[in-house]
Structure 1
Amino acid sequence: MTWLKDVIGTEKAIIAMCHLLPLPGDPYFEKDKGMDYVVEMARKDLRALQEGGVDAVMFSNEFSLPYLTDVKTETVAAMARIIGEIKGDIKIPFGVNVLWDAKKSLDLAVATGAQFVREIFTGVYASDFGIWNTNVGETVRHQYRIGGEGVKLLFNIVPEAAKYMAERDIETVAKSTVFNNRPDALCVSGLTAGTETDSQILKRVKDAVPDTVVLANTGVRLANLEQQLSIADGAVVGTTFKYDGKFENHVEQDRVRVFMDKVKAFRER
């Protein structure tokens, strides 16, 4: 049994993404509609996800494009306001992800009571956002300094829109990440949000670290969920739950329900 059962309530857990609209300071923030609109759209998506039957939800500033690796204070403040305003509506376990800043993800988690965060905690990358470095030792020490030692850390080891600067096979990355950092989970992704996670890479990671939770991080959909969940311990799902399966749209409750019905049938088998 993994920590997924204790924290989320089930093995083969589905963590749904609640993608927040552009926030103050982001290039595409809709100033005429303001923060009240962002809050209400987050509430709408949260309700659709919960009523559709997902196991947990993760809030992220997915539309803060182009992303920063040193996120500004106004972004974290806006995310804290949103979660604070809708927290009374949250009925399932939740996590947060401040893209792409591990320390600020932990700050937000401690401030809001989130049970987990997903981030790029380790590695150095050539990315769409420039040279992307990390400092996991400092990040984890920051976690303990702010009282966040109970927050589960989901390490994304196949970063989206980025590549390791040194050639390392994925098994080596998985094994060294687990040995050096004791992650609560490893997340395996495709190139971008909504892009299918390569099932062969997923299997290689799980085989390399069989005692660590491994999550399919992108592109899980009706057509491949059984294949992905037969390898992974769970999945992070966002784009699949949206109208027409398009990244830029809002969540469609019926799509969530159909997906989760199939997941529950798979778990019962």
Structure 2
Amino acid sequence: MSWTKEILNTEKPIIAMCHIRALPGDPGYDHAAGMQWVLQKAREDFLALQEGGVDAVMFSNEFSLPYLTKVKTETVAAMARIIGELMPEIEIPFGVNVLWDPVASMDLAQATGAKFVREIFTGVYASDFGVWDTNCGETIRHQHRIGAKDVKSLFNIVPEAAQYLAHREIESIAKTTVFNCKPDAVCVSGMTAGEATDSNILSRVKQAIPNTLVFANTGVRINTVEEQLGIADGAVVGTTFKQDGDFNKYVELARVKEFMQEVKRIR
């Protein structure tokens, strides 16, 4: 039995993204509306996802564009406040992703009781955010130092808007990541949020690491979910749940219900 059955109560889970609007310190933060507005929008999106029947939710600071690889304290504090205020209404497992800072993600997970984190834990990349380096050994040691050893780690091995500095085949990346770092799951992404995960790449990764969970991480839609779940062990879904499938809009309950009905038929 995989850990998804134990922790997320199903095989082939759908982890829905709750994209938090720009936070204090972010260029897009609405000072006039303030944190109460950000909290209200997060609540509305989360409740629509939960009522729509998703298996789990992942809270992320998706609108903190452009992203930092070392996130500021105010970002983590604001996310902790939002999750804390939503806690009485949360009835399904949840995870967190503080983009793009694995240490901050672990801190937030431990503070809020999140079951999992998704991050870029490994690799060195040329990215839209500059040269993007990681230190997985230190991150995992930090995880254990703060008592978060039970938090499941989802390793994104195809970072959005970035490319390995040295060419490596995806199979090599997957195999060495699993051998060296022992992720709880590996995520395969498209180029940006909402961009389809390449089924060919997804299949190659799964074949390379058959004993590790592999998730489709971006761009899964109602007309592709059957194919993607035919390859992957689960999916992280965000944009497709929003009005018109538009990243910048808000979650639409009817779209969530329709998508999850299709997933239940497949499963």
Quote the residue 1:255 is aligned against.
255
CA distance in 2, matches of 1:28, 1:167: 35
- Alignment map for 1:147-158 (pairs within 5 Å): 147-158=147-158
CA distance in 1, matches of 2:124, 2:210: 25
In structure 1, give the amino acid aligned to 2:129: F
| 1:218-251 CA-partner distances (Å, limit 9, x unpaired) | 0000110000000000000000000000000000
CA distance in 2, matches of 1:211, 1:186: 11
Residues paired across the two proteins, number? 267
TM-score, normalised via structure 1 length: 0.99
Quote the residue 1:82 is aligned against.
82
CA distance in 2, matches of 1:156, 1:141: 19
Q: How far has the Cα of 1:28 moved from its partner?
A: 0.7
CA distance in 2, matches of 1:5, 1:128: 36
CA distance in 2, matches of 1:222, 1:38: 28
In structure 2, give the amino acid aligned to 1:235: A
CA distance in 2, matches of 1:89, 1:106: 22
SS at match of 1:210: coil
CA distance in 2, matches of 1:87, 1:34: 20
Quote the residue 1:219 is aligned against.
219
Quote the residue 1:172 is aligned against.
172
In structure 2, give the amino acid aligned to 1:168: R
The root-mean-square deviation of aligned C-alpha atoms, in Å, is 0.4
Quote the residue 2:159 is aligned against.
159
Q: How far has the Cα of 1:18 moved from its partner?
A: 0.1
The yes-or-no answer on 1:210 pairing with 2:210 is: yes
Quote the residue 1:139 is aligned against.
139
SS at match of 1:92: coil
**Superposition misfits of 4+ residues, deviation over 4 angstroms:** none
Q: How far has the Cα of 1:125 moved from its partner?
A: 0.1
CA distance in 1, matches of 2:261, 2:142: 40
CA distance in 2, matches of 1:180, 1:70: 23
Quote the residue 2:116 is aligned against.
116
SS at match of 1:48: helix
The yes-or-no answer on 1:9 pairing with 2:9 is: yes
SS at match of 2:191: coil
SS at match of 1:18: strand
CA distance in 1, matches of 2:173, 2:3: 22
Quote the residue 2:232 is aligned against.
232
CA distance in 2, matches of 1:251, 1:236: 15
| 1:69-126 CA-partner distances (Å, limit 9, x unpaired) | 0100000000000000011111100000000000000000000000000000000000
CA distance in 1, matches of 2:115, 2:51: 20
In structure 1, give the amino acid aligned to 2:163: K
CA distance in 2, matches of 1:88, 1:240: 27
Is there any run of 5+ residues in structure 2 with no aligned partner, and where?
none
Quote the residue 1:243 is aligned against.
243
CA distance in 1, matches of 2:42, 2:73: 20
Quote the residue 1:70 is aligned against.
70
Quote the residue 2:42 is aligned against.
42
| 1:110-152 CA-partner distances (Å, limit 9, x unpaired) | 0000000000000000000000000000000000000000000
Is there any run of 5+ residues in structure 1 with no aligned partner, and where?
none
CA distance in 2, matches of 1:161, 1:129: 8
In structure 1, give the amino acid aligned to 2:58: M
TM-score, normalised via structure 2 length: 1.00
Q: How far has the Cα of 1:2 moved from its partner?
A: 1.1
In structure 1, give the amino acid aligned to 2:155: F
